[in-house]
Amino acid sequence: MPVIVTFDITNYNANDHNRLRAMFERFGWENLGGTAYRYPKLGTDDQPVEDWLNHIVPAIMMFRAYLTNHPEVTLTRFTVDANSSSGYNPATGFGQPPLPGAQAADYDPQHPGHFGQANLWQWLNNIPYPY
């Protein structure tokens, strides 16, 4: 079952819009138009279940990081809708463990120049554990 994220933000520019779109797309999300995204892309069977550890949570974390690092941007609406099941069990070969950035964010966006793949991989591989 898909996960749908929608949001409205103000005080951002076209470059930010394009970067956010490319960021979601690098994690395997499909842009549904404007600021609405779907994972997995419609018509794909990438995994038997949604990959929350590698594609959904990191994309939402990066969106959050964008918001907290751009105080001029105002989030006016955010929704995440999911009827989903996810998991990982190596004994049964089900699901995926947390993967390195190069494997988790390995999708090509429609406009690759808007969000650098190497920087995304570095960010994903270096998120600190705070305690």
* Share of residues in the chain with pLDDT > 70 (%): 97
Q: Where are the domains of the chain?
A: 1-82
Cα maximum dimension of the chain: 48
pTM of the model: 0.89
Tokens representing 96 are: 């995926």
Task: Look at residue 33 in the predicted model and tell me its pLDDT.
Answer: 94
Task: Look at residue 43 in the predicted model and tell me its pLDDT.
Answer: 80
Four-way CATH pick for 1-82: 2.120.10.30, 3.30.70.240, 3.40.50.11740, 1.10.260.40: 3.30.70.240
Four-residue CA torsion sign, 41, 57, 16, 77 = positive
- Tens-digit pLDDT profile for residues 6-46: 999 999 998 999 999 999 999 999 999 999 999 998 887 65
Tokens representing 34 are: 């404007």
> In this model, does residue 70 exceed pLDDT 90?
yes
Q: Is 7 helix (H, G, I), strand (E, B) or coil?
A: strand
